[in-house]
Amino acid sequence: MARKQKKEKKEIVYAPIVYQPITETIEKNYMPYVMSVIVSRAIPEIDGLKPSHRKLLYTMYKMGLLTGGRTKSANIVGQTMKLNPHGDASIYETMVRLTRGNATLLHPLIDSKGSFGKQYSSSMAASASRYTEAKLDPICHELFAGVEKNAVDMIDNYDATMKEPVLLPTTFPNILVMPNMGIAVGMASNICSFNLAEICDGTIALLRKPKLPVEKMMELVKAPDFSGGGVILYDAEEMKKIYTTGSGSVRMRARYVYDKENSCIDIIQIPYSTTIELIIAKLTALYKEGKIKEITDFRDEIDLSGFKLTLDVRRGTDPEKLMAKLFKLTPLEDSFRCNFNVLINSTPRTMGLIEILHEWIAFRLQCFKRELKFDLKKKKDKLHLLLGLGKILLDIDKAIRIIRKTEKESDVVPNLMKGFDIDEIQANFIAEIKLRYLNREYILNRLAEIEDLQKEIADMEETLKDELKQKAVIIQQLTEIKKKYGQPRRTQIMAAGAVKEYNEEEHVENYPARFVLSRDGYFKKITFQSLRGNDEQSFKDGDEQLELMDGQNTDNLIFLTNRQQLYRAKAEDFDNTKASALGDYLPVKLHMDPDEKPILMNIQNKYPAKENIVFIFENGKGVRISVANYETTGNRRKLTSAFSKASPVVAAFYEKAPMELLLTASDGRAILIKSSLIPIMSTRTSNGVQLMTLKKGEKLVAATADTAHIPEDAKGLKKVKIPAAGVLLDKK
């Protein structure tokens, strides 16, 4: 027999549990992540760019795409990964938003070819990067001006194989021209775009007068300007708040054109903060609910010419009233929530428009001075060389003789230095001059530059000492940028007070109507014009009329059900029908619960405290509840616990004045009482008081306010006190 091999048991060694205080976990693990998201990802800096934008644009700049032709987007994405290792998909998404084709920016930074989707549509996606092409837009000259002149600091990329700028030395306040949204940890940023020409004017005014009043700034920079156009409902106080604090809300509306001939409304611009899909989804829901009966059809007609959403409307519809209604009920009117949170020296700060411009001016002055120092050094170096060249002008033959007689090449520079009393840099420059240039004419022409250079250097040094001169240069640059790139406003401005707000009652066609409710829950709204031909009501077999009342199409209706619930509806929500039709089935129309049906209907435009609802229950009890108890502050369509559920309800009556009620028990006995005998309870769910004494096993089966058929001499039927015993109706 083979021996059974004993399996060796491996000893499991568990790592010791190390306890770490939560404060230490947050400090060492969570806080570095938080700071990384805030500083290196989500919040834009004073140049108007997030790190992902800056890395992409700088890569394209180094690829020569500022002046050259377009290249495949896939090539750009691949090159950008040298600076941004977060994956090709996220890089391409960043690129798409900056393109001319996507229409997100007032001044696109990337000139694109191919399908890049649209900002106003969530379903129009960009083509894959291998199918599209791009290059930098000409306005990027203003972003990179000075980047080669040490205008900004350069740092290593993530693997220290190349350098990248910390910021771009943009020559205009791109932070307020380029819209930006970012969500960090514990904070967010949402910056709207402003018109470039207006921002240049505002910045120039601030350069000239640092303590410019906010009212003057509001005259120059009128309001935000969005790439999608639309209309801003201008609120001066809210705008002032945005300009001073950086927080506030901008209300926007769509722009439309009414085509009377084709009876349609063409919406040509929508708020920047919404999409056509959201609008269509809301229109679809409203259409199904019957709230926009004026519209027969709507469709997306976006094409190469731009945005268009067409609404087909019924003949005779007032387009202004319809649009006022749609502005109220759909995202055709929306708000842009401003939160001007910007990184300043790696510190997030929420600032108003004026403060942001002050920070940009300080940043731009610093960049300009660094550029000026760079140019100044270049010119001083050139002057230094020319001054050395001037010394050999005195004896060109001597310079040639020194070079010719020097035996070793390495001794040429030292011998020139000794022969003309010049330094090594000057000597190297002279030694490198071609033999053909060692003539008096060439040297005199070069020396003529010395005077101009000295004057330029003096001007530069003077400018470096004088901030007013620096500001004057920046003002000149901004003026040229405005002239070169400025555009008319795309977003119109309309005073918020001049806009007539939507009033639902004003937009509802009003006319007299008759309301009919059956016991099985069928509701009919019949115009009086329809009743002229036939006023005989039709019902299903076994069904009968429960309520009939005359009112207006603008009336509000309430329906109480056997499940202790109250439903509110508007008469306009129901279609007109004929007396011969069955009408709308309320349990479906009002989304009632299973086996729920109405027991009372009333026109309820107001809720007067002196009017009551009377409830009669199977256990012989009854209660009056003031109708004021059913009034709510909100527009609630359904109210639960409308009355007591201690006993099944037999009937409900609306009491404007005391009425006589006939209550009938299952044994045939009845009483006739005044509704005023029933006490009014302050609580809706009160069980009430006993109205009729019932024998064991008996219950109330009917209650009616129709007492016309009862003989006046019915003995013992009328009661003046409760509770009361019933009498048989056939015994007088």
Q: Is the dihedral of CA 512, 518, 521, 524 positive or negative?
A: negative
For 585-589, the CB contacts below 8 A with 24+ separation are 585/521, 585/522, 585/523, 586/517, 586/521, 586/522, 586/523, 586/559, 587/521, 589/523
Residue 354, Ramachandran bin (φ over 0: left; ψ between -120 and 50: alpha; else beta): alpha
Which tokens go with 59? 């890569």
Which tokens go with 163? 């350098």
Which tokens go with 3? 């021996």
For residues 80 and 91, is the Cβ–Cβ distance under 8 A? Answer: yes
d(CA 307, CA 309): 7
Q: Is the dihedral of CA 78, 80, 83, 86 positive or negative?
A: negative
Look-up: residue for tokens 């007539």? 500
Runs of H (alpha helix) within 192-231: 196-208, 214-220
Which string of b and e fits 465-484 if b means at least 16 CB within 10 Å? eeeeebbeebbebbeebbee
Angle at 445 between CA 440 and CA 451, to 5 degrees: 125
d(CA 190, CA 337): 7
For residues 226 and 192, is the Cβ–Cβ distance under 8 A? Answer: yes
d(CA 627, CA 611): 6
d(CA 104, CA 112): 13
Which tokens go with 435? 């033999």
Runs of H (alpha helix) within 221-299: 236-245, 276-288
d(CA 429, CA 437): 12
Residue 141: strand, helix, or coil: helix
Annotated catalytic residue, options 30, 33, 131, 158: 131
Burial degree of 421 (CB within 10 A; 0-12, 13-18, 19+): exposed
d(CA 551, CA 512): 6
Question: How do beta strands 188-191 and 180-183 pair?
Answer: antiparallel
Residue 521: strand, helix, or coil: coil
Give yes or no: 243 in active site. no
For residues 571 and 527, is the Cβ–Cβ distance under 8 A? Answer: no
Which residue, among 302, 248, 249, has the nearest Cα to 279 in the 3D structure?
302
Which residue, among 386, 314, 321, 353, has the nearest Cα to 225 in the 3D structure?
353
d(CA 382, CA 451): 12
For residues 717 and 710, is the Cβ–Cβ distance under 8 A? Answer: yes
Residue 440: strand, helix, or coil: helix
d(CA 452, CA 458): 10
Look-up: residue for tokens 């066609």? 509
Query: Could you list the active site residues?
Result: 131
